């Protein structure tokens, strides 16, 4: 390649980067998350954008508010974000004879010394996780929280335990302006597709590099900063500084407690002294289309390069979940096929396999998984996706010893077969017609 061609390519790259930066600047007045009093009834209607959460909230006095939603005022904002809670009970466990549930040993100690062991039933308490795009309705019901998915499946969550319903909800209502509603006020939340196009938000998008793998998709820095007008704060040799993300080209881990930030204007700034720019960072969510969602810890993070990525999926882009179906091969060679319940918990294609590897926490919808193979001994589990890629994981999370086993409703029978996790050799899953939202 000639020097002229190289120079031309470099000039073109600069033009692209400047165009991205200018697009962020042009949209800053629209996207700036102003405080509630600064947003009027008229501008609240413009906040309805297809990729942002949208819904209708009914409060206890009967009043309703409709518009763009955001949990905790500055937390979950997009359809790909997850709603979390503690399930009130594990209804699948009732289908397993108590004597068949695996026991787990627990040491008995006095003054720090182990004097024996006793067996306790395996812990069947399970957390609830669902993308907002998979949910139809959230409601307070007799002191509990009921979540209804698009598929019609309902889950009752314990309101007194940790749940996202315990956070306030901000709604941009076209008639009343911006309302911050405490959970005690809320009776129902109906999630709906946005009726208007609004202005396309500049969501953070790019590639996050780790030592072992790169991940590309929509990004939420420190778990909740996901649009160009959000700010990265830190200390410099000249004092504290706040940088809008739309001005940032890349962020590189400089040390355990600092980051080197490269800006579109050519400057390079080292930030330190704040949690989000160092080892207090909560990690980066990346909605990587290959794996669903991953959380990259600060220890695994090396660098992020931001790039244009579009507006992201809308509510209608998330298809309703389907029953999980496939087959289980036991270590004794027996083969069982039918509807599956994984870990006495996950039973639909939109529910997820949660497992960590090399500083990255994977949240993979079961509808993306073709098979799970469990070699004997300490060999790592192999998860093969429907696109053909195979991932290897240590035995932790949903692949660990705490897995409560599987139910298989063979040939649609009402009474399922129960298989201990230790007896599972391979799980093969049927592929749903469509799983992940299309690229925008």
Beta bridge partners of 329: 335, 426
DSSP state of 273: S
Separation CA 291–CA 206 (nearest Å):
15
Per residue in 130-164, pLDDT (tens digit) is 999 999 999 998 878 999 999 999 999 988 876 78
Least confident of 139-143, 211-215, 231-235: 139-143
Q: What is the pTM of this model?
A: 0.84
Q: What is residue 358's predicted lDDT score, i.e. its pLDDT?
A: 95
Separation CA 274–CA 234 (nearest Å):
5
**Following DSSP, what letter does each residue of 279-291 receive, concatenated?**
TT---EEEEETTT
Query: Please, what is the average pLDDT of the chain?
Result: 86
Under the banding of pLDDT at 50, 70 and 90, the label for residue 166 is: confident
Separation CA 320–CA 419 (nearest Å):
28
The more confident residue out of 257 and 436 is: 257
Helix (H) and strand (E) counts for the chain? 2, 32
Q: Does the pLDDT of residue 268 top 60, yes or no? A: yes
**Following DSSP, what letter does each residue of 337-394 receive, concatenated?**
EEEEEETTTB-BTTSEEEEEETTEEEEEEGGGEEEEE--STTPPEEEEETTS-EEEE-
Q: Residues in the chain, how many?
A: 440
Q: What is residue 160's predicted lDDT score, i.e. its pLDDT?
A: 80
Q: What is residue 334's predicted lDDT score, i.e. its pLDDT?
A: 97
DSSP state of 233: E
The average pLDDT across 79-102 equals 88
Q: What is residue 82's predicted lDDT score, i.e. its pLDDT?
A: 96
The average pLDDT across 297-311 equals 94
Q: What is residue 29's predicted lDDT score, i.e. its pLDDT?
A: 31
Parse the chain into domains and list their residue ranges: 36-88+126-191, 205-310, 321-429
Q: What is residue 122's predicted lDDT score, i.e. its pLDDT?
A: 72
Q: How many percent of the chain have pLDDT more than 70?
A: 84
Q: Does the pLDDT of residue 6 top 50, yes or no? A: no
Contact status, residue 46 vs residue 59, Cβ threshold 8 Å: no
Per residue in 40-49, pLDDT (tens digit) is 555 555 566 8
Phi/psi at 390 (5° precision): -115, 130
The average pLDDT across 227-231 equals 92
Q: What is residue 108's predicted lDDT score, i.e. its pLDDT?
A: 77
Per residue in 358-409, pLDDT (tens digit) is 999 999 999 999 999 999 777 899 999 999 999 999 999 999 988 999 999 9
Separation CA 294–CA 219 (nearest Å):
10
Q: What is residue 40's predicted lDDT score, i.e. its pLDDT?
A: 55
Q: What is the CA radius of gyration of the chain?
A: 24
Under the banding of pLDDT at 50, 70 and 90, the label for residue 198 is: low
Q: Is 138 left (phi over 0), alpha (psi -120 to 50) or beta?
A: beta
Q: What is residue 31's predicted lDDT score, i.e. its pLDDT?
A: 31
Q: How many CB atoms sit inside 10 A of residue 367's CB?
A: 24
Per residue in 329-355, pLDDT (tens digit) is 999 999 999 999 999 999 999 999 999
Q: What is residue 24's predicted lDDT score, i.e. its pLDDT?
A: 40
Q: Does the pLDDT of residue 223 top 60, yes or no? A: yes
Q: Does the pLDDT of residue 436 top 90, yes or no? A: no
Under the banding of pLDDT at 50, 70 and 90, the label for residue 426 is: very high
Contact status, residue 348 vs residue 321, Cβ threshold 8 Å: yes
> What's 54-79 look like in SS3?
EEEEEECCCCEEEEEEEECCCCCCEC
**Following DSSP, what letter does each residue of 68-116 receive, concatenated?**
EEEETTTS--BTTSEEEEEBS--GGGGGS-GGGSPEEEEEEEETTEEEE
Q: What is residue 201's predicted lDDT score, i.e. its pLDDT?
A: 65
Range with top average pLDDT, 87-91, 178-182, 300-304: 300-304
Q: What is residue 116's predicted lDDT score, i.e. its pLDDT?
A: 74
Q: How many CB atoms sit inside 10 A of residue 394's CB?
A: 14
Q: What is residue 43's predicted lDDT score, i.e. its pLDDT?
A: 53
Q: How many CB atoms sit inside 10 A of residue 204's CB?
A: 24
């Amino acid at each position: 390649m000639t020097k002229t061609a190289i120079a031309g390519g470099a000039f073109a790259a600069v033009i692209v980067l400047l165009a991205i930066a200018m697009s962020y600047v042009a949209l800053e007045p629209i996207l700036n998350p102003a405080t509630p009093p600064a947003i009027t009834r008229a501008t609240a209607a413009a906040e309805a954008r297809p990729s942002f959460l949208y819904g209708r909230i009914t409060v206890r006095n009967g009043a309703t508010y409709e518009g763009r939603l955001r949990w905790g005022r500055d937390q979950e904002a997009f359809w790909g974000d997850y709603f979390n809670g503690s399930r009130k009970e594990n209804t699948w466990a009732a289908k397993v004879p108590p004597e068949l549930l695996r026991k787990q040993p627990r040491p008995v100690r006095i003054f720090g010394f182990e004097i024996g062991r006793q067996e306790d039933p395996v812990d069947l308490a399970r957390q609830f996780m669902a993308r907002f795009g998979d949910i139809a309705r959230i409601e307070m019901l007799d002191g509990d929280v009921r979540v209804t998915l698009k598929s019609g499946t309902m889950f009752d969550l314990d309101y007194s335990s940790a749940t996202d319903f315990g956070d306030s909800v901000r709604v941009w209502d076209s008639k009343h302006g911006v309302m911050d509603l405490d959970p005690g006020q809320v009776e129902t939340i109906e999630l709906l597709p946005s009726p208007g196009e609004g202005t396309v938000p500049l969501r953070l998008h790019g590639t996050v590099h780790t030592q072992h793998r790169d991940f590309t998709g929509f990004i939420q820095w420190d778990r909740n900063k996901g649009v160009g007008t959000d700010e990265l704060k830190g200390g410099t040799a000249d004092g504290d500084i706040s940088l809008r993300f739309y001005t940032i080209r890349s962020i590189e881990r400089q040390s355990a407690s600092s980051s080197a930030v490269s800006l579109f204007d050519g400057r390079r700034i080292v930030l330190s002294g704040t949690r989000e720019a160092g080892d207090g960072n909560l990690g980066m969510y990346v909605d990587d289309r290959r794996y669903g969602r991953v959380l990259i810890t600060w220890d695994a993070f090396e660098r992020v390069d931001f790039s244009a990525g579009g507006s992201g999926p809308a509510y209608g882009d998330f298809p309703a979940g389907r029953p999980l179906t496939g087959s289980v091969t036991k270590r004794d060679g027996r083969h069982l096929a039918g509807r599956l319940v994984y870990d006495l918990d996950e039973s639909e294609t939109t529910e997820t396999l949660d497992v960590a590897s090399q500083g990255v926490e994977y949240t993979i919808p079961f509808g993306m998984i073709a098979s799970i193979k469990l070699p004997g001994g300490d060999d790592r589990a192999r998860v093969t996706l429907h696109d053909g890629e195979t991932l290897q994981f240590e035995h932790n999370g949903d692949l660990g010893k705490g897995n409560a086993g599987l139910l298989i409703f063979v040939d649609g029978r009402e009474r399922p077969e129960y298989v201990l996790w230790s007896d599972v050799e391979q799980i093969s899953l049927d592929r749903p017609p469509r799983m992940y939202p299309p690229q925008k």
